[in-house]
Amino acid sequence: MNRLLIFFLCFLFSFCNEVKKDIPTVKDEVQIQKEDLIDVNRNWIRDESFLIDQFCIRHNLDVVKTNSGVRYCVYNQKKTNKIETGNIVTIDYEVRLLDADTTLCYSSKNTQPFSFIVEMDNIESGLHEAISYFKKGENGVVILPHYLAHGLLGNMDKIPPLSAVLYNIEVIDVKRK
């Protein structure tokens, strides 16, 4: 009887160890979910980039694409100083969606020109980067992918979540801080 009990306990112990190996841990599940989310984001960014490129082709925009994903085109280049970190920049702007109607979201014509300190004010990070390619008196187009514009939430007013946006910009003034 003791031998049978010992055999049964050994069998049960070894069976439990085998079952335990097949059960994923919480850490394994979190890692799988993290990898899945990374893949989803990578695919979303790739698809958004393709759609932005198609928008540029349809609208004959000859844009430069930066490593971060910002696209820009300067129309009337000037021979003035480049905009630098810490400069106070004043711009006229329109913000539009990249939908079929290029829906107008915001415009300084309805308010007034907008001023901000480059790399220091709380505005879209893509706009900080894009403005560095402009000089005083220049105008052009800037397209920001969602992750450099209003991100996952949009702005809860006129720009939907995960939306790329197009800025028509004119640099009115640049001052040193």
What pLDDT does residue 7 have?
Answer: 55
What pLDDT does residue 151 have?
Answer: 85
- SS3 per residue for the chain: CHHHHHHHHHHHHHHHHHHHHHCCCHHHHHHHHHHHHHHHHHHHHHHHHHHHHHHHHHCCCCCEECCCCCEEEECCCCCCCECCCCCEEEEEEEEEECCCCCCEEEECCCCCCEEEECCCCCCCHHHHHHHCCCECCCEEEEEECHHHCCCCCCCCCCCCCCCCEEEEEEEEEEECC
| Confidence check: pLDDT of 8 > 70 | no
Q: Per-residue pLDDT averaged across 50-74, rounded?
A: 94
Q: Which pTM value belongs to this model?
A: 0.78
Give the model's confidence band at 129: pLDDT under 50 very low, under 70 low, under 90 confident, else very high. very high
| Confidence check: pLDDT of 92 > 90 | yes
- Token look-up 């829906």 returns 103
| Confidence check: pLDDT of 145 > 90 | yes
| Confidence check: pLDDT of 61 > 60 | yes
Give the model's confidence band at 27: pLDDT under 50 very low, under 70 low, under 90 confident, else very high. low
| Confidence check: pLDDT of 70 > 70 | yes
What pLDDT does residue 76 have?
Answer: 85
| Confidence check: pLDDT of 12 > 60 | no
Of 126 and 21, more confident:
126
Q: Per-residue pLDDT averaged across 130-149, rounded?
A: 94
